[in-house]
Chains A and B, each alone.
Chain A
Amino acid sequence: MKKVFLLSLVLLLTGCNITVLDPKSETASEQAFLITFSFWIMMIVVVTVFILFARFVWKYRYTNSRKHILPKDVKGNIKLEITWIIIPVLLLIILAVPTLAITYDQSPEWTKESEDAGIEIDVTGKQFNWLFRHRNGKEEMDKLVIPEGESIILNLRSEDVIHSFWVPELGGKVDVMPGKELTYEIKHPQRGTYQGKCAEYCGLGHTDMTFQVEVVSTQAYAQYLHQ
């Protein structure tokens, strides 16, 4: 168990190889920060428990010399018990602060007019394709082209069941609902080509409901719109 954990530590330290921890937009960076930050706080908890665990199990194990010991009864210890209420509360408060800030900023919402100006794109999910519709009416199936560095505002809606829009490098998921339009914002994507996928189980073709995202320069995007 310990070994597995060390392995994971190494992997997470070299986290830049892991997709989600190697973000390519501001939105995803904030999320990656939250993940790494919470990971380290959780490591404090895990390491504390593991050390106590290993120590107690080793020290108080049954041995021949301890055969006839009748352990003293301890009913409890209010001071200790309060300690392990207070410390977790503090850790959770530390965690809650960035969580609240980022969640407030990022949560997808049912049709709200976005205050920020940005590139608006209508996304329609249906079994088992994605249709992207740009402001000037240009449509493309399963391929999303967006300009780098801008705010991308997605208006998502489904024609049938629930899907979920996800490009790991650019940001978290937003569900795509029938009958309701959701708005989600991806801030400042970086140039590159990424895989997008449907993250909500939606039936037979769920696995294959993928799409391509190309983040291109602003000029290239303008060109693309008029192709």
Chain B
Amino acid sequence: MKLSVFGYELVIPTDIIAAWVSVILIGIVAGYIIIKKRKLGVVWDYMKTTNHRKIGILYLLFGIIYFFRAGVDALLIRTQLAVPNNDFWVFQGEKYNELFTTHGTLMIFFVAMPLLLGLMNIAVPLQIGAKDLAFPFLNSLGFWLFFAGSLFFNIAFFLNLTPEVGWTGYAPLSRAEFTPGAGTEFYVFGLQISGLGTIFTALNLIVTIIRHRAPGMSYTRMPLFAWASLITSFLILIAFTVLAIALYLLMFDRLFGTGFFSGDEGDPVFWQHLFWIFGHPEVYILALPAFGIFSDIISTFSKKRIFGYGTMVASIVLIGFLGFMVWVHHMFTVGLGPVVNTFFAITTMAIAIPTGIKVFNWLFTMRGGVIHFTTPMLFALGFIPSFVIGGVTGVMLSLSAADFQFHDTHFVVAHFHYVIIASTILGVFAGLYYWYPKITGYMLDEKLGKWHFWTFLIGYHITFFPMHITGLEGMPRRVYTYSEADGIFILNAISTVGAFLMGISMLFVIWNVYKTHKKKKKVSGDPWDGRTLEWTVSSPAPEHTFEPMPVIHSMDAYWYAKVKNKPLPATTNVRVKPLERDSIQPFCIAMSLFIVSTGLTFRWYWLAILGGVMLFALLILRSITDEREDFYGKSDDHA
């Protein structure tokens, strides 16, 4: 669309206009509802909160919002690919490249990560008997950094400055010579800020799990979701730090003319190494917490203790460890030579073994149990076969010579959607249905939940199964069209149909949430007849939990207490709970980084400096308004 403003010719693509219009409309509706229902106080409350459950809700909320946004991108991708030589709307060439970049980046960083971190935030403290995360202020800061980063990344689209370098941002394409616009800066800073938040949250979870377990909750009695969260957090610390440095170097390349990743003096492959040293562990960061959720759910709804607890824990650790030794399997065609290729082919194949242990242990947990087909359990059941399909295509990819054919085709697209959706997305859905009572006090409707499950699962297989074949037919990734002669029309059309079925399935979720909150039917603290500590507190989990604190004598202690019909032993002699005080400072700190990034992106250095000054002022302010000051030294005189 062409506009003429003060004599300037402005060309605004219609998709941007559509985005503005829809966001403004949604904003007006949301604003109206908030003001009409006098909920401004609630918004303010959540902006200041440091409570783990509320922060978890924020993570989940934004994760889901971005899932819809990235999902709409996916539907646009699929519409453009539905028929050969398609000319759908504006999504050819540049716009298509922006589309898959946004879709991939959002899904990985701003959908999967916050959804998992949200569930960890809510469930882990409750599962291990902690009264909150160890550092409530830092927890809030972690969320708002994630939020600021995601906001920054998303704004790019509204300014028609969407990055178009793929979620992998390969150099030298991502260097300023080849992508001169400000688009790639949004990728760099968006990930940088939100990554920082993720690191803080991981650190927080580790300290919580190491230091805040209930008395008697030894490492051998900890629920598997808590175990998975612990290992995942360690992976995050290393992987996201490497990513942070990679982005730091890329920022220097783009803004200050260094040549780390240039083709002449630097080394583009160095970016790939750094990116995949982050990127591969990242995929296990996405998978492991989901494995943890499934372990708890399968055990709960088979009414049986998890089979082979010890090997389950060992395999989580092993997967995490091996995850750092396989990154080159994304780079088989780069030319690192036969020795490197075979070495990494073998380490990659080795990961199948600990994963296999988990799969069989899940199966044998169900054996001999009484399986209740609740919605969370259905998602767990859908996960097992789907994930195995995705996993074995992963093993096929790891055969380096075969990967010469697979690499960068839709076969790879099929592989990773299979594993990611089976583990992360189904896992998050399972976790949401499972813990929804603990989060809100209401139970989601089971019937609609089952509709959601079946339409989603069927849509998912219809979408991604044909991609294995289109890949083998020679369809590369990241192309916006193909010709009739390629013979892949029917398969692509099927994929598109499946994608829309997945879209429809998500409407059931919206309906379900709406219906549940309309009905307002409160549930008890233990609606699923659960096994772990989160079910001992009331629903929704109150701000002050575990008073008195349970004492743990075995795994699944709550379950065995129920079986024996005895209450859990408890004590009031417990360690001090983490100090907390509501504060708007985390939000402000995150926003100051947003300002710094805006300044750097548009080379408005004064703004960047202003943001920096703001940041340091806020840090000092934080230091002198520390909630510890009111707690410490009540027994002591002044220094």
Contacts and interface: CB of A to CB of B under 8 A. Distances in A.
Interface of A: 1, 4-5, 8, 11, 18-21, 28, 30-32, 34-35, 38-39, 42, 45-46, 49-50, 52-53, 56-57, 60-62, 66, 69-77, 80-81, 84-85, 88-89, 92, 95-96, 99-100, 102-110, 127, 158, 160-162, 164, 166, 168, 171-175, 177-180, 182, 195, 197-207
B527 interface: no
B479 A49 contact: no
21 contacts: A20-B472, A20-B474, A21-B472, A31-B405, A35-B405, A42-B395, A56-B371, A74-B364, A75-B308, A96-B346, A103-B345, A107-B337, A168-B473, A168-B474, A172-B407, A175-B334, A197-B476, A198-B476, A199-B407, A201-B173, A201-B478
Given A46-B389, A74-B368, A178-B263, A88 B352 contact: yes
Closest 4 CB pairs of A and B: A172-B404, A178-B263, A76-B308, A168-B474
A35 B469 CA distance: 12
B518 to A, nearest CB: 30
B401 A172 contact: yes
B366 A56 contact: yes
A56 B367 contact: yes
Interface of B: 93-94, 96-97, 164, 166, 170, 172-173, 178-179, 263-264, 267-269, 302-305, 307-311, 332-338, 341-342, 345-346, 349-350, 352-353, 356-357, 359-361, 363-364, 366-373, 381, 384-386, 388-389, 392-393, 395-396, 399-409, 457, 461-462, 465, 468-469, 472-474, 476-481, 563
A164 B408 contact: yes
A162 B270 CA distance: 13
A180 B335 contact: yes
A205 B97 CA distance: 10
Contact of A92 (B353, B388, B402): B353
Contacts of B172: 160-162, 178
Contacts of B384: 49, 53
B335 A207 contact: no
A207 B264 contact: no
A201 B474 contact: no
Contacts of A88: 352-353, 356
Contacts of B269: 177
A207 B96 CA distance: 10
Given A107-B400, A174-B335, A204 B97 contact: yes
Contacts of B304: 71-74
B465 A8 contact: yes
Contacts, number: 278
Contact of A203 (B178, B357, B364): B178
B337 A61 contact: no
Contacts of B96: 207
B263 A158 contact: yes
B447 to A, nearest CB: 17
Contacts of B334: 175, 177
Contacts of A103: 338, 341-342, 345, 399-401
B308 A201 contact: no
B224 to A, nearest CB: 13
B596 to A, nearest CB: 29
Contact of B170 (A5, A102, A107, A162): A162
B221 to A, nearest CB: 13
B349 to A, nearest CB: 5
Contact of B396 (A5, A38, A69, A104): A38
Contacts of A160: 172, 178, 263
B72 to A, nearest CB: 22
B352 A202 contact: no
Contacts of A62: 370-373
B356 A84 contact: yes
Nearest to A30: B401
A60 B371 contact: yes
Contact of A201 (B170, B307, B392): B170
B268 A178 contact: yes
Given A76-B309, A127-B178, A206-B478, 16 more contacts: A4-B462, A38-B402, A57-B371, A60-B366, A72-B368, A88-B352, A107-B400, A158-B263, A161-B263, A162-B268, A164-B408, A173-B333, A174-B335, A201-B477, A201-B478, A206-B97
Nearest to B363: A52
A207 B481 contact: yes
Nearest to A159: B263
A95 B404 contact: no
Contacts of B94: 204
B309 A75 contact: yes
The interface centre, meaning the residue of B373, B384, B461, B472 with most chain A CB atoms within 10 A of its CB, is B472
A45 B369 contact: no
Contact of B93 (A110, A161, A207): A207
B3 to A, nearest CB: 24
A175 B335 contact: yes
A164 to B, nearest CB: 6
Contacts of A200: 170, 408
B363 A172 contact: no
A50 B386 CA distance: 10
B578 to A, nearest CB: 34
Contact of B361 (A21, A81, A175): A81
A77 B399 contact: no
A37 B392 CA distance: 13
A175 to B, nearest CB: 5
B371 A34 contact: no
